[in-house]
Structure 1
């Protein structure tokens, strides 16, 4: 369903839309760079519902079926990156704080006062921004395979950069599937098997649903331009769980460790053999820790609509 938030139309999927889960504590899932709400593993979404949570997912701006801001143009990432390296403050088309306001707008539109906020990759950065912007709205924070954004942290290794910089020969579904298959294989978890046919099918479904390379570049500019988040993470008071793969070649494990170090009382869960994805074997390890974290931070008598924002 579409909702209006922060001046945009955002595509939302809410497991409580029929009213049967209205009194459950809410988990808001925030997707990563270029990803869609459909990219959250079904087993993770179902596992949260089976554990008694109402799960809300949405397409970020410039992704999926939400508003695409093509009028803002395509940013020059080389220039944005150079500004960052020179210690200047880049001016991306929009910021991660804007995207955090989108997430809060989703809660407002659904009448949800407080939620557990869970983000993966770029979504983890947005989740951190949500916890900074509106601490009273955040029951707990979970940052998965993400980063504090602090200067000096390691970046992707050279083979990953090479994969990311390659472009598909055309925009045909076949070429796009092969392109993203190479990327997901390069950044994936080395110790957890992913069936190639299943991965191809998921990529094809995603491409057919929406494909916006320019939107992904605008999101990437927002990530690069978010230069002062790390220094503010010490203000977060929400119970925080940081989950990160020890074999992550895109956002190295040190980035997760730094995030946990900066957030007071944060708990760190490092997973051996996990890369920058959530295959079924990783989900099996993540779910118990995540559910324990969410339950510990849930109110004894949760009410999703109590004190709801209009």
Structure 2
């Protein structure tokens, strides 16, 4: 896969479609690799006249790792936050948003539509706020404004991310951990054990870097609420949220729609936190409808 080099940053990316078509760049969530985006869905969107970009965020996949940066532990960061204070992450989501602009610059793309899932949805919002001249429209999938009054993630999710667990010393341990989270994330009607195991094995074999995951999590934990700022965003926005989401319960989707003045909200029944195959067609339909109106 191609790599974009800029100073000390290397970004691994993949494209679908023709460069002269409108560009839609997808931003992954926490620890998500570009191979986790369904190629079938990306190619389908490209076949409908879009230039699609997917990429590895910093600290994941085949992009640059930031092992040299000083970093608090997750426990230290949580303690500082619980005391009502800010901690210093190794980098911020603003830095990760800047990486997206670096990639677009390197590919000589002046403006793009941006879609992000979960943490990637937050990065998308930051892009729309910090680089309004570059972002044509916004697609927020299973994400949040980060406002404090919104309901917390389900206890099973918090336990997975914040409690110590067995070191992931081999692919079997990693896949077992991720399959546990997979069952928490998805409605029983959307479970595909075989496909999920295959995806997690591929992710591990391509690039497994737990320290990068921790640094991304610290960046996410350090993010400020954005609800009030989002009201300034005037570009067309699409919000796709599931009514079964255990990470950002559906209230987050409704609130995001209230914050973004020029937005359309699509709630998908039984959708949890992710992109399971049974909803591919709905996603494509909603995204194409949004793109046709921008």
Aligned length: 292
Query: 1:295–1:5: structure 2 CA closer, same or farther, 3 Å change rule?
Result: farther
> Normalized against structure 1, the TM-score is what?
0.89
The root-mean-square deviation of aligned C-alpha atoms, in Å, is 1.6
Give the deviation of 1:168 after TM superposition. Answer: 3.7
Q: Structure 2 unaligned runs (5+)?
A: none
> Normalized against structure 2, the TM-score is what?
0.94
Query: 1:174–1:189: structure 2 CA closer, same or farther, 3 Å change rule?
Result: same
1:57 paired residue number: 54
1:274 paired with 2:275, answer no
Query: 1:172–1:195: structure 2 CA closer, same or farther, 3 Å change rule?
Result: same
3-state SS of 1:242 partner:
strand
2:81 paired residue number: 84
Give the deviation of 1:85 after TM superposition. Answer: 3.9
Q: Which moved more, 1:197-206 or 1:4-13?
A: 4-13
2:5 paired residue number: 4
Q: Which moved more, 1:247-256 or 1:201-210?
A: 247-256
Q: Which moved more, 1:86-95 or 1:119-128?
A: 86-95
Higher RCO (Cα < 8 Å, 6 or more apart): 1
Give the deviation of 1:191 after TM superposition. Answer: 3.3
1:31 paired with 2:28, answer yes
CA distance in 2, matches of 1:170, 1:266: 41
3-state SS of 2:231 partner:
helix
Contact 2:148 2:225 in 1 (8 A): no
CA distance in 1, matches of 2:159, 2:74: 16
Give the deviation of 1:250 after TM superposition. Answer: 1.5
Query: 1:208–1:44: structure 2 CA closer, same or farther, 3 Å change rule?
Result: same
Query: 1:80–1:288: structure 2 CA closer, same or farther, 3 Å change rule?
Result: same
1:206 paired residue number: 203
CA distance in 2, matches of 1:223, 1:163: 16
2:153 paired residue number: 156
1:177 pairs with one of 144, 162, 175 = 175
CA distance in 1, matches of 2:221, 2:7: 22
